[in-house]
Amino acid sequence: MDKEQVLKRLTVIEGHLKGVKKMVEQEAYCMDVIHQIHAVQSALNKVSSLILNDHLNSCVIAAVRGDSPDERERVLKEIADLFETISKP
- Domain, as residue range, for 20: 3-87
Q: What is the pLDDT of residue 79?
A: 93
Check: CB of residue 15 under 8 Å from CB of residue 9.
no
pTM for the model: 0.84
Check: CB of residue 5 under 8 Å from CB of residue 50.
yes
d(CA 5, CA 47): 9
Q: Domain tally for the chain?
A: 1
pLDDT digits (tens, 9 = 90+) for 54-79: 999 999 999 999 999 999 999 999 99
pLDDT digits (tens, 9 = 90+) for 24-64: 999 999 999 999 999 999 999 999 999 999 999 999 999 99
Instruction: Assign residue 14 the CATH number of its domain.
Output: 1.20.58.1000
Maximum alpha-carbon separation in the chain:
58
d(CA 53, CA 33): 30
